[in-house]
Amino acid sequence: MEKMIDLRSDTVTKPTPAMRRAMAEAEVGDDVYGEDPTVNLLQERAAGIFGKEAALFVPTGSMGNQIAVKLHTKQGDEVIIEERGHIFNYEMGTPAVVSGVMIRPVRAAEASGMLTWSEIEPAIHVNQPYYACPTGLICLENSHNFGGGSVMSAAQTDEICNSAHKLNIPVHLDGARIFNSAVAQNETVANLSRSVDSVQFCLSKGLGAPVGSMLLGTKDFINEARVWRKRFGGGMRQAGILAAAGLIALEESPQRLHIDHENAKRLAEGVAGLKGVSIDAEKVVTNIVLFDITKTGKTSAEICAALKEHDIHAIPFGKEIRMVTHCDVSQAEIEKTLKSLAKIL
Ligand SMILES: Cc1ncc(COP(=O)(O)O)c(C=O)c1O
């Protein structure tokens, strides 16, 4: 049987042989007591790389984001986020369920989904007692998944944070793919997150670890986050087995992300040449390729079903199809995908 080319997400990556070895040999302890040496090492390394006071290993990106929403807000607050943001659309309504907050989605004018302060400011409520929900938090996403893996610069992030902080509004960064953003901009993750109050990033996406994300912020914030991780059911015991893979992901994987970006660019340029497909290939700078198929005369579901018969997995999202490159997809497989798409269309 031919290998399935899985472009649904970078979450599908399998741990490398080095990760599996490290997992087998990991020193472990009970992390609920803070006694797992490998988890502690991962947390120290992550905090060092991001230039933040402290870090917490959490099972998922969603948990990291939702702990941050919980800690930064109080019931009845509003959270401003770009309309296509993950925290708003794909985390099961947890801000409402767990934190009792309202989401105030704001559509960025740019297709990239990158908000500017001039777009955020009119949505903010401060000092409007008796009718408006106060703005408790602003959430950013870098890279922006449904903005097509678009990136926000350190200067853009600083501008939003500086303005928000003047109003005493904290900013959380969903940096699930912040390493992709950093590589694309030849920037450091520390600079991209230097002005935010908290940041979450995923080890289990482009970095290739099987499980896990990190939440970072001040020591006080992370101490509180530890309590909420337990409440959410995320207190894992001998989690060093997972952290061992995470350490390799953190220290080695960023060096190869440019390959995924080159593959995504090639894919974007290829699909841009197909009849009825609409995408601005120039805007594809990380590992996500989102293209509009409205004018092909087929639905995205039909195209994805046909791709599956060619052993290619992609996800239909309304009038768009998303393909994500990662370490388990080769350049040759990108060429095969393009040939199959051309045949289908
Ligand atoms: C931008 C973004 N944030 C957060 C998450 C959540 O990560 P997890 O699947 O680990 O909960 C994802 C997952 O795809 C994501 O794309």
Q: pLDDT tens, position by position, for the chain (345 residues)?
A: 568 999 999 999 999 999 999 999 999 999 999 999 999 999 999 999 999 999 999 999 999 999 999 999 999 999 999 999 999 999 999 999 999 999 999 999 999 999 999 999 999 999 887 889 999 999 999 999 999 999 999 999 999 999 999 999 999 999 999 999 999 999 999 999 999 999 999 999 999 999 999 999 999 999 999 999 999 999 999 999 999 999 999 999 999 999 999 999 999 999 999 999 999 999 999 999 999 999 999 999 999 999 999 999 999 999 999 999 999 999 999 999 999 999 999
Residues 203, 247: Cα–Cα separation, whole Å: 9
Pocket lined around ligand 1, Cβ cut-off 6 Å = 11, 60-62, 65, 86, 141, 145, 174, 176, 202, 204, 213
The total domain count for the chain is 2
CB 22 within 8 A of CB 338: no
203 by DSSP, 3-state: which?
Answer: coil
Residue 280 Cα to ligand 1 middle (Å): 24
Q: What is the CATH number of the domain that holds 108?
A: 3.40.640.10
Residues 171, 82: Cα–Cα separation, whole Å: 13
- Record the pTM: 0.97
**Residues 104 and 170 placed together within one structural domain of the fold:** yes
CB 213 within 8 A of CB 256: no
Residues 87, 119: Cα–Cα separation, whole Å: 19
CA pseudo-torsion sign 270, 274, 277, 282: positive
Q: Whose CA is closest to atom 4 on ligand 1?
A: 61
Residue 336 Cα to ligand 1 middle (Å): 28
Q: Which atom of ligand 1 is nearest to the CA of 174?
A: 3
**Residues 196 and 323 placed together within one structural domain of the fold:** no
Given the DSSP bridges, would you call strands 171-174 and 54-58 parallel, antiparallel or unpaired? unpaired
CA nearest 245: which of 61, 49, 63, 24? 24
| 33 burial type by CB count under 10 A (0-12 exposed, 13-18 middle, 19+ buried) | exposed
Q: Which atom of ligand 1 is nearest to the CA of 177?
A: 1
Q: Which domain holds residue 120?
A: 17-254
Q: What is the CATH number of the domain that holds 272?
A: 3.90.1150.10
Helices first, then strands: H and E counts in the chain: 14, 12
